[in-house]
Structure 1
Amino acid sequence: MTQSDPFRSCRPFSLLLTKSKAFQQQAQNDINAMNTDVWGTCNTDVPQDQCDGNMAWFASALQSSCRTDLANQVEMAVDTLTALQAYDLMRNAACQVDADTNAYCYVEAVANSDPSSYWFYQLPLGQPLVPITNSACNSCMKALMSMYADALSSTNSTSLGGLVKTYGDAASSLNNACGSSYAKAASVSSSNSALTSFSMPGSMVLLAVLFFTGALFGT
């Protein structure tokens, strides 16, 4: 999957954040490299709606081929499915721009010596928020949490199980640090309870063979 063009051309931020050692260990320590990586994530040659379809197909294929691992809560399978389903939301989160500085909010969070803002980008992946300081009380985090709340209540959203588990406590933590109602309340749409079935695009038939017979993550 990770070596296929439909995957790589869409540069899924959700999986870069969790599975790419180069992104985690190298780009995180080089603000220019990080800015370049995020820019590439936001400006893919493939249109975003097509990328949404690619990731939805991969998620559907994973649910079929890794049914047993998912039922047994095998970490690799569960984390990968969560990241695939959060593709669209996390791409939008990564591409959010600070109106005051014209910089990517995520890049600012990485560059900040206080990592409080950074941890909010882990919420859609099911990672609970760690203790934060009032450094997170900024316009980027307020807008990010609003984006999350809207995604949870949207009838058009795909399954966002990771965010469902983490949003409420994170919103409470942010409100405690920044003032009541700083983070929007969210009501989870019933449409988020399951992933819609997707048909396989003709251009991805070969990927089925690669996906079902190969390892999930290559080198």
Structure 2
Amino acid sequence: MKQLLAIALGGSAGAILRFVISNGVYQGLGRVFPYGTLAVNLIGCFLMGLLTEVLLLQPPSGLTITYRPAILVGLFGALTTFSTFSLETIYLIERGYLLRAMSNIVISVSSCLFVTWIGLLSGRVLFFYKSGAVRLFGWLLPYGILFINFIGAFLIGLFTQVLVQQIAVSTEYRAAIMVILTGLFTTFSGLYFILYLLTEGYTFKQELHNLLILFLINMMTCIIAVWVGLLAGKQFQ
């Protein structure tokens, strides 16, 4: 039951992201070609490849058993869309745009396969050296997880910036949306960060100070990533 609920939540988030990304791309590039569908498929395929490799390398636990299908099946399953790709291709053929239709097929299939492979390769490289963690001055620093959290926070900033440009909301509501999303992601990613450290031998009783510092490092990483994502999202204006 927990897995089904997690997949449902992931799927709803993926569907919203798909709408935001595709419409943002269409606003910037127009609708003469299915740029929006191509964009969500490329992003989704890359992240699917990256996080599939990363999540498979994580130690099994009750938490991982729940969030793996939520992310891979729910979130990215809803984000990517082969049915929309097929429908748009048929529409191009019916309108007589045969070259555009063939280009859509070739570009979509080949590029999605390529970015999925790049994502898998990135995950393997990221966690190749000592499973994505190094020791600095006696501290264990999971740089692999930090990098993944940076990507997630960056996408939150990027997609939120694109979304608020499409709907008429006040500055106060924009700030509230950003604070809530950033707070939720930072909290949950930080908790997972702490859980990972606990599985690697850290204890609250003996190393609480180190855990708090590493939690703050993760928080600052996420905040910086959100800020970078907001700046990138302004380019769609």
TM-score, normalised via structure 1 length: 0.30
Q: Which has the higher helix share?
A: 2
TM-score, normalised via structure 2 length: 0.28
Q: Which has the larger radius of gyration?
A: 2
